Amino acid sequence: MSNQLAIDTQNLSALRGRASRDPEGSVKEAAKQFETLFMQEVMKRMRAASMSNGLMDNEMSKLGTDMLDQQYAQAMSGVPGGLSAAIERQLAGGVRRATGDNPLSITGSKASTAEPLPDLAKKNVPLHAARFIQKHDAAAKAVSADSGIPAHFMLAQAAHETGWGRSEIKNKDGSSANNLFGIKAGPGWTGKVAEITTTEYENGVARKVTAKFRAYDSPEASFRDYAQLITGNRRYAAAVGALQQTQTADASTAQRFARHLQAAGYATDPEYANKLTRVINTTVRVQRALA
Helices (H), the chain: 9-21, 27-49, 59-75, 83-95, 127-147, 151-162, 219-232, 237-244, 251-263, 272-290
Helix (H, G, I), strand (E, B) or coil at 193: strand
Q: Which of 57, 200, 217, 271 is catalytic?
A: 200
Mean pLDDT computed over every residue of the chain = 77
Q: What is the mean pLDDT of residues 205-223?
A: 92
Q: Is 29 a catalytic residue?
A: no
DSSP string, 206-234: EEEEEEEEEE-SSHHHHHHHHHHHHHH-G
Confidence grade of residue 200 (pLDDT, cut at 50, 70, 90): confident
Label residue 13 by pLDDT band (50, 70, 90).
Answer: low
Question: Who has greater pLDDT, 144 or 248?
Answer: 144
Q: Which CATH architecture has domain 121-169+219-290?
A: Orthogonal Bundle (1.10)
Q: What are phi and psi of 217, to 5 degrees?
A: -80, -20
Which of 231, 262, 263, 232 minimizes the C-alpha distance to 150? 231
Does 101 qualify as catalytic in the annotation?
no
Bigger pLDDT: 53 vs 227: 227
DSSP 52: P
Are the C-beta atoms of 160 and 275 separated by less than 8 Å? yes
Contacts of 93 (CB under 8 A, 6+ apart): none
* Stated pTM of the model: 0.59
Predicted confidence (pLDDT) per residue in 109-151, tens digit: 333 333 556 666 677 788 889 999 999 999 999 999 999 999 9
Listed in order, the ranges of the chain carrying CATH 1.10.530.10 are: 121-169+219-290
Tell whether the model's pLDDT for residue 59 goes beyond 70: no
